[in-house]
Amino acid sequence: MAGVVVVFDFDKTIIDVDSDNWVVDGLGATELFDHLLPTMPWNTLIDTVMGELHARGKTLHDVAEVLKAAPIDPHVVSAIKAAYGLGCDLRVLSDANRFFIETILDHHGLRGYFSEINTNPSRVDADGRLRIAPHHDFHSGPHGCGLGTCPPNMCKGQVFDSIRASVEADGGKKRFIYLGDGRGDYCPSLRLEREDFMMPRKGFPVWDLICENPGLLQAEVHPWSDGKDLEETLLRLVGRVLVEEGNLLPPMDCKQELLPVVAVQDGIPMPLGVKS
């Protein structure tokens, strides 16, 4: 296995929308959502809206059918499969929830490519209602991150630290590639090391935060704009690591010719402002 761990955010990274908003809009709860939004934390809000939808007669099947229609770029699907085929360990780190994520990944045949999903837990209660809980129980106390960009229910930086510690305890030093778009993805970007790579979605909140003071990051920053860009950038970086580690590229269906060439071309680190 390659010494590369790829950590994906989910909303607006793997899929091209926010899964919470997609379900709320798809099941006709937008007005309720907008009314409650100023009154409670996001994670609590989604659980509350799920309860109201259940009271209106919407079933778990209805929720799942809306989720299955969430748009995902074919290039992202291809990138996940190709990175897995190259021996990467793929993880999800998301502020969505387990039911939403697993339903979408299952629908696209992608769940088996990920070794771990880190997100807000969900369950179905005795009445058949979907319940969504916070990853961190902020009612019992804050998670302690003072950065100011993490929501109360999840500090992705702390979760990322746990992922790194677990991975390296099992198999020694690894290089990480982190992909994300939102404010919550900024904290883990600051915890990446010099040998790692950050892939922020260009024009989204995490990109704006990074651009405010790029010198705060140790990792190289490689932005992306859409699914095609994500695929090309991710596989270029994976190929580069494989070349640097002296590993031969394993056989692949679709990227066998491309990867070794672009990996060598990308072998010299470039300043943040030069990358595109």
For 40-83, write each residue's pLDDT tens digit. Answer: 999 999 999 999 999 999 999 999 999 999 999 999 999 999 99
The active-site residue, picked from 9, 20, 185, 229, is: 9
16 part of the active site: no
Closest residue by Cα to residue 221 from 169, 167, 184, 275: 275
Q: Are 95 and 151 in contact (CB under 8 A)?
A: yes
Q: Tell me, what's the pLDDT at 143?
A: 79
Q: Are 82 and 24 in contact (CB under 8 A)?
A: no
Sites in the chain below the pLDDT cut of 50? 251-276
Q: Tell me, what's the pLDDT at 171?
A: 75
Mean pLDDT score across all residues of the chain: 88
The active-site residue, picked from 11, 181, 196, 229, is: 11
Beta strand pairing call for 197-200 and 130-132: unpaired
185 part of the active site: no
What pTM did the predictor assign?
A: 0.88
